[in-house]
């Protein structure tokens, strides 16, 4: 067996063990999707930023700055301002309202808020 195959099989086994161990804690879909809404502010903050900035921050932004010059660094100020605005003014209210509406995702939140029985909001939110 090659080292690559051994590494791959080891990785799959680790994933199976982690999945089996965490299966016991996930009683509902909310436990699985949102960790039962039990995560702390900093864990959620870093998770959101890691998801939102992955490839764009590491590849896209340096590439556009290289291609267009330092004037593109204004994008950083705009994005940072938007992120801070979202954290300070949107996130707390969205959490409370999504909990009251029993929504687990943003499309589901809007669907519940606007009583969309046609599932159009969820469809476009998924796309």
Residue 3 has pLDDT above 90, yes or no: yes
* Cβ 121 vs Cβ 115: under 8 Å: no
Name the average pLDDT for the chain: 87
Between CA 39 and CA 45, with CA 40 as vertex, the angle to 5 degrees is 100
Helix 61-68 × helix 74-85 angle, to 10°: 150
Average of per-residue pLDDT across 77-91: 89
Per-residue pLDDT, 30: 84
pLDDT top residue among 125 and 90: 90
Nearest to 32 by CA among 121, 105, 111: 105
Per-residue pLDDT, 6: 95
Domain map of the chain by residue range?
1-36, 39-126
Express each pLDDT in 53-72 by its tens digit. Answer: 777 777 888 888 889 888 88
Per-residue pLDDT, 64: 87
* Cβ 60 vs Cβ 68: under 8 Å: no
Express each pLDDT in 27-55 by its tens digit. Answer: 888 888 888 888 888 888 888 888 877 77
């Amino acid at each position: 067996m090659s080292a690559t195959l051994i590494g791959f099989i080891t990785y799959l086994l680790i994933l199976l063990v982690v999945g089996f161990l965490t299966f016991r804690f996930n009683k509902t879909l909310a436990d699985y999707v949102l960790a039962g809404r039990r995560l702390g502010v900093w864990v959620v903050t870093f998770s959101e930023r890691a998801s939102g900035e992955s490839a764009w921050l590491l590849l896209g932004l340096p590439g556009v700055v290289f291609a267009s010059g330092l004037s593109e660094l204004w994008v950083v100020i705009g994005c940072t301002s938007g992120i801070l605005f979202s954290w300070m003014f949107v996130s707390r209210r969205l959490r409370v309202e999504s909990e009251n509406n029993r929504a687990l995702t943003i499309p589901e939140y809007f669907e519940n808020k606007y009583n969309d029985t046609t599932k159009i909001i969820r469809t476009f939110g998924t796309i």
